[in-house]
Amino acid sequence: MSRAELIELNETKKLLEEHQPILESREKGLNAELANKMPELEHAIISLVYAYNNSKKRADEILKIYGPNLIKKTVPSPTLNVSMGEEIKLVTSPPDYSTTLTDVDVDTMVKEFRELLSAVLNIVNHQKDIKSIMEELNDVRRKNNAIKHAIIPELLENMKELNDKLEQEEIDEKIRLMFFEL
């Protein structure tokens, strides 16, 4: 045990104390980012409900007018092209059926259905963003708490023990020197 180790522990403590405000600042930034994302998610959910209500209303009207058999014959099961990447999105493509063989109401219903799917994917993207922010926020909080409540107190305890040991060695050395002088 030496003074150099004590100095090294003290420097480590200073670095951690300097790093702690950075983590706290990052935590505040993530909280603000999360607070900004929540209204966006709320807006996306409202858009989804609106798109669903429009789509459902249109589908019910068409079913009443034309009956389910006409739609089954003219509109095939939709194929969804979804692009998975940084952001999940619906890849727009031309309708998978002939628009000349269907009524304009059916075409509108298909368009509204695609808008409904886009609204769902928009919510999924917002949830992905929020989940990512929450994971990073938890990580930053965990690191900050570890520094604050575990690492720094442990360093202080080690520094105190080391300092006490060095002081005791100095006292022992003085006592030895006094015996040799006699």
Per the prediction, the chain carries an average pLDDT of 82
The more confident residue out of 111 and 24 is 24
Q: How many CA atoms lie within 13 A of 63 on its CB side?
A: 7
Q: How does pLDDT run across 16-70, given as a tens digit for each residue?
A: 999 999 999 999 999 999 999 999 999 998 988 888 888 888 778 777 877 766 5
For residue 102, give Cα distances in angstroms to 33, 60, 149: 46, 16, 68
| 147 neighbors 20 (Cβ within 8 angstroms) | yes
Q: How far is it, in rounded angstroms, from Cα 147 to Cα 16? A: 7
What number is the average pLDDT over the span 75-103? 58
In this prediction the pTM is 0.69
Q: How does pLDDT run across 114-138, given as a tens digit for each residue?
A: 888 888 888 988 999 999 999 999 9
Instruction: Using DSSP, state whether 103 is helix, strand or coil.
Output: coil
Q: How far is it, in rounded angstroms, from Cα 66 to Cα 104? A: 12
Which residue in this structure is represented by tokens 């360093």? 155
CATH number of the 3-175 domain: 1.10.287.3240
Pairing of strands 89-90, 82-83: antiparallel
